[in-house]
Amino acid sequence: MAEREALQKQYAYHEMSNKVEVASRRGRLRGEPTGEVESLRGHLTDSKMGDRVVSSSAKDEQPVSKKRKVQKEKRKTSEKTPSISITSTKSILDVASIRGYQPTTPSSKAAYQELVTLIGSKEYLSNQDFGILRDAAQVVLDILFDEDLRDPDKQKQLSNVLLYGKSGTKNISGSRYAQMVQWSKAMSDYHMHNKKSNESDEDDMNTEMGVAVVFHSDESDEDNDSDEGEGLLAAIADSESSSSEDDDDEAEGMAEPARAVEDEDDRDEHVGESLGKRNGKKTKDEASSKSSIRSLSVHEIDSHYLQRQLGQALPDEEATKVASLANQVLDILGNVTADLRECENQLLVLLGFDVFPTIQLLLHNRLKLWACITRLRAPPEKRDEVQEVLQKTDEGKLIWKELTEPSNVQDWSRERMRGLTHALKKNNPDKKDDKVSSALDDVAAAGNAIGVKSNSDGDKDANMDVDPKSDSASQKPTELDLEGLAFRDGAHTMSNSTCNLPPKSWRAMKKGYEEVHVPAVVKKTSPGENLIPIKNLPDWTHAAFQGMEVLNPIQSKVCPTALETNENLLLCAPTGGGKTNVAMLTMLNILGRYRKPPNKDDDEDSNNDSDIGKFDKSKFKIVYIAPMKALVQEVVSNFQRRLADYGMVVRELSGDSSLTRQQIAETQLLVTTPEKWDIVTRQGEGRAYTQLVKLVILDEIHLLHDDRGPVLESIVARVIRQVETTAEPIRLVGLSATLPNYADVATFLRVNPKKGLFFFDHSYRPIPLQMQYVGITERNAFKRFQLQNEICYDRALGQRRNDHQMLIFVHSRAETGKTAKALRDMAVTNDDISKFCRDGSMSQEILREESASVKNADLKDVLPYGFAIHHAGMTREDRGLVEDLFADRHVAVLCTTATLAWGVNLPAHAVIIKGTQIYNPSKGEWTELSPLDVLQMLGRAGRPPYDTQGEGIVLTRHSELQYYLSLTNLQLPVESQLIKTLPNHLNAEIVLGTVQSIDEASDWISYTFLYVRMLQNPGLYGITNSDIDTDPTLKLRRRDLAHTAACMLEKSLLAQYDRKSGALRATALGRVASQYYISHTSMAVYSRHMRPNMSGIELLRLFCQSGEFSHITVREEEKLELSKLVGKVPIPVKESPSEPAAKVNILLQAYISRLKLDGFALVADMAFIQQSAARIMRALFEIALRRHWSGLAKLTLDFANMVSHRIWRSQTPLRQFSNVPQIVARKLERKSDIEWSRFADLTPSDLGELVGVPKMGIILHELVHKFPKLDVSAVLQPITRSMLRIELTLVSAFQFDIDSHGYSQLFHVLVEDVNGEAILYHQTFTIQNRNKDDEHVLFLTVPIIDPLPPAYFIRILSDRWLHSESTLPISFQHTILPAKFPPPTELLDLQPLPVAASLQESAFTQLFPFQEFNPIQTQSFHELYKTDRNVLVCAPSGSGKLALANLAVLRAIQTSPKGKYVYITPL
């Protein structure tokens, strides 16, 4: 109320009128004219007089009023929307992407980049989005350029801005300040761009987009008159009207460029005028050139049309360069505010005069190209913007009509044929040789295949027509735009337009932010609810529930189905509802099925269920799929303890811990992640133990909405199809948070809704949760960042007034310490530190004592004040101490990362999520938190024994309020993300053999969650109502999706696709992609660019082109650090550090070299790159093996091991052992004159003397002899003149150590040609611990090259160890080969045998459709039909070998009527 009165008083008339005549007493503002003589430096542009003069022919004079009207319209257009072009990347120096200062000169750009890099370093504001760093730099510059401040005041203000959450000194150093001043002086153009906005926070908030939420009003609450009630806004912003106004403004702004295009002169005339006019007349060549420009059909233009055209016009350019040019050309074509002449000049500058015909084609179809490509690339919800632009012009309306009319297959076919014919004729305009004619005939034949007739009497281009009787083309599947259909927001996709909040929800507008409060749901208490005591369960199950007396309401309702039936089950319950115990009940159900009956000799008085009994554990396996590695470890420790009495072996199977086949065979419960289990099940080798799986538990199945959701879809579809194929039941159990569309998930899991579907809303939460959503409306990123700390402190102080503990979740390790220190400093400044830790209390004494033993500096600094931090980078002792102190209520505020929410069950009364932006290296940008993380963090709010209500507070941007309101109020439907990765998962099924045709692929899609959601919400997935009416089961749509994915796989060479029969067959590249989880886009790049003699530089460049790194970008604050790293990495980088490929290359080498990085985003990017590096290098190694490239195979294997061990090949091999000190390793590397092979001959004293540390001699001697090495010998035996048999003997020549080598060591056996370039033979060989001392013999069959080479080389390579290599040359000097061509069997001139007389069995005679045997059959008849000797028949095709096989089978039937006969065929 007081604020409102003050606001009214401020703008009252008597207050404002007095200010009119009052003279301003302020000092002169910076930049205000003083009247003194000033320099014009910085005010003048580089242009010269006459630069803007344009030579053109005179045009018809227009009335002055009409000219002014046109100019006015153009001015309005340029003000409203400068361009409708879509740019793929934005630089911080782009005018459109930056508010405030924008450097224009090279010196100012360099200085500005240095300043931003310094602000983003660990010294100041690290781990922050670039928007925050940019706005912080603006604040710093404002202070440095403020002439009213003295240097000490500037330095103090800069310290307050930059030293956020820093311990120790409270002022920046003098050298740093001087450096900043020096940089500011280099920014001479600062005053030109220093136009600061004076809008207040209230104005910013009023212009912010409203949130589409609906509050349920409660009339009973209208009479409440609390003090806060007057400060609340009861009215709700009408978001629909505001958004519609924005849409109208946007439509108006986008319509103007379209009019500009329409108001230009005729396109053809303008092209001719600007490119070929001489003295006002067109030449004959120009006229013919104009007539040759073809108008494209919208059906010819797809999202990659420009890239294909430029690729043909610029054949020497690389694919990445062509793709970049295509994006730039699209931007130029889309900039309709520029006239056609300007567009033409830009294209000529960009592409050059050599591609002039292509430029003519692009200009002639300018609007059509922009509209079609932009519409295909834009997400479905933004395609209406293209329509709005096109509807403003006549040409645009025609284009839109052509785009949206029902597709006429014949018209489309005719356009495609004409385009292809035009291209063929264009290459030979003067004559038609035989090749062109045959090519045109092929075009006509292709047209006939899809129903297009060619008139042979006339011109083949002009007389192509459509056969109306042919409808075969309409039955063929169409290729869809999967990229356009995929959800670009991924897990952030919102399919709901509004969010309905429960009653008594309210909102409040504060300075800089808006609050939305949602009350806790009243907990349901059913008087007749029966809770199941543990003692009522079978006695043998009690060991799994030690410490429990009764099941909670959720578990009691689910128990009969989970424990006593085999029904598939879906449980949707709030976090903390006891879903883990439900999973335990389903495991006990499996144990009960394989529980052996009690021994008959047992005591008669003993109950059958009194003892746990014994279980046949070899008959079953259980798979528990958890979404996170941290949760996997927690589940393993939990179930190991609870299932120990049953003798069950529980093991982790994730990326960090791989299990051998023997270990998997010994394990009954495998706890894994979705990706790891997908890899296991998609390989045929895993079928041996996957067939024993009887139960699959999918924890947090709402992961389906995440970008990782397609992996879950693939796993479930594979399990269901396996059940249908083998008729062996596998139970599916889904555990999830509360979902709005739980029925769809149940359908996907094949759950019977009457028996296995259980849904519990928030009223079943053990502790009701009250929610607060804070949407920050501040537009300045740095001010928004500062405001988050203030709001966080305000909420924390409110909790401490009620003596509550709280968890504050932040999103980086460094941010935990910064936030805790910032809160501590604000508490000290405001004299509120006693609220967090009372003076003289026992807790204060305990915290002071414990802080002395703490190792983490940030924790030591804040712990005495009642604050603490927790993250995975701390030592185990520090983390355990913090957890104990918080559980004992000594710590009031705990700042932590999400690992505490997943790995440690440490609840608090209140949970604050400070910000929802987190850096996602897979996308190369700051994205919103995943729903999984948000729900897990909020699940830590409320302590069941102590609290009756918990509180959750989410701090986010105002534009994201609706998303988080929908997420936590059961109004965010789970959608499928499968379309984005459909080709990759289809390839896995093709390789596995479960999909062998398009029909089977279409059937496979029907088992996915995508199919369920397409039926429920077809419009969201690009399906029209007419499609649903004509195809209720979406069979055609599924077939189109499968066809599109198959075409993409075929283009990437991962699968063979026969479009006529629909057959699908895996290729060698497809098997590699499936095995190593490589995307089809990456495999296409590898297939095109891999060469047999690639160097390390070329291999790294190829690695950087992988599709997995397509989203990695170079940010401005990273350029300086990358430039420094370029000089530290050993392998030269050819690209500029500002290119994404160079960044990937540099970070990979920095990881191997163990270089320390400063930027948080760089560290995250490096971690993402190294996670994929070893896997990609292994895939490249497999490709090189399959292509028989020896040099590249050895190089890729070396790089894979270099990434794994983080050492270079030039370093000592002993670095691969963890117990070798760095100093010793460096000394060994300095002794480069001693070869590694000689180290085995040195004594311990020699090695100690070599490194200068005598005590290390014994250790080094042991490590040298533990290094994997094999002794190899071989015996040759030529089988034929072209085939050689090698008997290879292998003996291990190293000390096998389980700690260093594991239980087995894998080696690759290669046979190379004399040049060492081609691999003639490859085989893997494994030495295990139990047979390490045995002599191993391998038999190799190797082809002999003609002419006979002087030697071959046998090379034994370790799969995991660098420098572990044994080579054995095989000389052919004394080898005697068999005769070159052994004589064939002489074909005798025999009388043909009659079939009936020879067989003497009428039943046998009917098997042969001829009367007499041919000469080969006649000569072989006696040996096959009358004897039982082995026979080898070698004869040409068509000589009747199948009949000879039948004779052998008939002989077997006669001699062994009851026997079984095997016929083996290659296909």
Higher pLDDT, 1345 or 48: 1345
Task: Report how far residue 43's alpha carbon sits from residue 191's, in angstroms, rounded to the nearest whole number.
Answer: 10
Q: Which range, 114-128, 936-950, 1339-1353, is most confident?
A: 1339-1353
**pLDDT tens column, 1243-1301:** 889 888 888 888 888 999 999 999 999 999 999 999 888 899 999 999 998 888 888 88
Listed residue (705, 728, 725, 704) closest to 716, CA to CA? 704
| H helix or E strand, kind and range, residue 663 | helix 661-666
- Which pLDDT band holds residue 454 (cuts at 50, 70, 90)? very low
The pLDDT value recorded for residue 844 is 86
Q: Average pLDDT over the chain, rounded to whole?
A: 79
Q: Which range, 642-651, 958-967, 1003-1012, 1215-1224, is most confident?
A: 1003-1012
The pLDDT value recorded for residue 1091 is 93
Listed residue (849, 958, 780, 900) closest to 239, CA to CA? 958
Task: Report how far residue 230's alpha carbon sits from residue 246's, in angstroms, rounded to the nearest whole number.
Answer: 31
- Which pLDDT band holds residue 319 (cuts at 50, 70, 90)? low
- Which pLDDT band holds residue 38 (cuts at 50, 70, 90)? low
Task: Report how far residue 1389's alpha carbon sits from residue 1411's, in angstroms, rounded to the nearest whole number.
Answer: 19
Higher pLDDT, 880 or 33: 880
- Mean pLDDT, rounded, for 184-213: 57
For residue 1110, give the DSSP letter.
T
**pLDDT tens column, 703-717:** 898 889 999 999 999
Task: Report how far residue 1260's alpha carbon sits from residue 1264's, in angstroms, rounded to the nearest whole number.
Answer: 6
Higher pLDDT, 34 or 1013: 1013
Listed residue (48, 920, 53) closest to 490, CA to CA? 920
- Mean pLDDT, rounded, for 1092-1105: 94
Q: For the ranges 805-809, 926-930, 1038-1042, 1382-1386, which has the lowest average pLDDT?
A: 1382-1386
- pLDDT above 80: residue 1013: yes
- pLDDT above 90: residue 1067: yes
**pLDDT tens column, 566-586:** 999 999 998 888 899 999 999
- Mean pLDDT, rounded, for 1426-1448: 91
Listed residue (1154, 1147, 1095) closest to 1124, CA to CA? 1147
Q: In terms of DSSP bridges, do strands 867-870 and 893-896 run parallel, antiparallel, or are they unpaired?
A: parallel
Tokens 């203000």 belong to residue? 157
- Which pLDDT band holds residue 1041 (cuts at 50, 70, 90)? very high
Residue partners of 1064: CB distance under 8 A and separation at least 6: 990, 995, 996, 997, 998, 1000, 1001, 1046, 1055, 1056, 1057, 1058
The pLDDT value recorded for residue 157 is 86
Half-sphere exposure of 361 (CA within 13 A, CB side): 18
Task: Report how far residue 910's alpha carbon sits from residue 908's, in angstroms, rounded to the nearest whole number.
Answer: 6
Task: Report how far residue 459's alpha carbon sits from residue 1158's, in angstroms, rounded to the nearest whole number.
Answer: 68
CB atoms within 10 A of CB 1167: 12
Q: Dihedral of the CA atoms 1107, 1113, 1118, 1121 (nearest 10)?
A: 30
- Which pLDDT band holds residue 459 (cuts at 50, 70, 90)? very low
CB 619 within 8 A of CB 594: yes
- Mean pLDDT, rounded, for 812-828: 89
- Mean pLDDT, rounded, for 422-436: 44
The pLDDT value recorded for residue 8 is 57
Higher pLDDT, 1117 or 1429: 1429
**pLDDT tens column, 1371-1421:** 988 888 887 777 788 898 889 999 988 888 888 888 898 999 999 999 999
- Which pLDDT band holds residue 362 (cuts at 50, 70, 90)? confident
Task: Report how far residue 1149's alpha carbon sits from residue 366's, in angstroms, rounded to the nearest whole number.
Answer: 44
Q: Dihedral of the CA atoms 21, 27, 29, 35 (nearest 10)?
A: 90
As a whole-number percent, the residues of the chain with pLDDT over 70 amount to: 78
- pLDDT above 60: residue 474: no
The pLDDT value recorded for residue 6 is 60
- Mean pLDDT, rounded, for 496-513: 85
Report residue 500: phi and psi, to 5°: -90, 120
- pLDDT above 80: residue 918: yes
Task: Report how far residue 132's alpha carbon sits from residue 141's, in angstroms, rounded to the nearest whole number.
Answer: 14
Six-digit token pair at 688?
């041996």
Tokens 């190797």 belong to residue? 1342
Task: Report how far residue 421's alpha carbon sits from residue 461's, in angstroms, rounded to the nearest whole number.
Answer: 6
From residue 890, alpha-carbon distances to 821, 836, 847, 947, 1193 in Å are 18, 10, 7, 17, 59
Beta pairing partners, 625: 672, 698
The pLDDT value recorded for residue 450 is 32
**pLDDT tens column, 1175-1222:** 999 999 999 999 999 999 999 999 999 999 999 999 999 999 988 888
**pLDDT tens column, 393-420:** 777 777 777 776 644 434 444 444 444 4
What pTM did the predictor assign? 0.71
Higher pLDDT, 1159 or 976: 976
As a whole-number percent, the residues of the chain with pLDDT over 90 amount to: 31
The pLDDT value recorded for residue 572 is 93
Q: For the ranges 460-469, 474-483, 1103-1112, which has the lowest average pLDDT?
A: 460-469
The pLDDT value recorded for residue 4 is 60
Task: Report how far residue 1074's alpha carbon sits from residue 684's, in angstroms, rounded to the nearest whole number.
Answer: 11
- Mean pLDDT, rounded, for 742-749: 93
- pLDDT above 50: residue 680: yes
Q: For the ranges 167-171, 302-306, 785-789, which has the lowest average pLDDT?
A: 167-171
Please, what is the Cα angle at 172 between 166 and 176, to 5 degrees?
Answer: 125
CB 769 within 8 A of CB 938: yes
Six-digit token pair at 680?
């296991």
- Mean pLDDT, rounded, for 1086-1101: 93
The pLDDT value recorded for residue 148 is 85
**pLDDT tens column, 132-184:** 888 888 888 888 888 888 888 888 888 888 876 555 446 788 888 888 888 88
- pLDDT above 60: residue 594: yes
The pLDDT value recorded for residue 305 is 79
- Mean pLDDT, rounded, for 219-237: 37
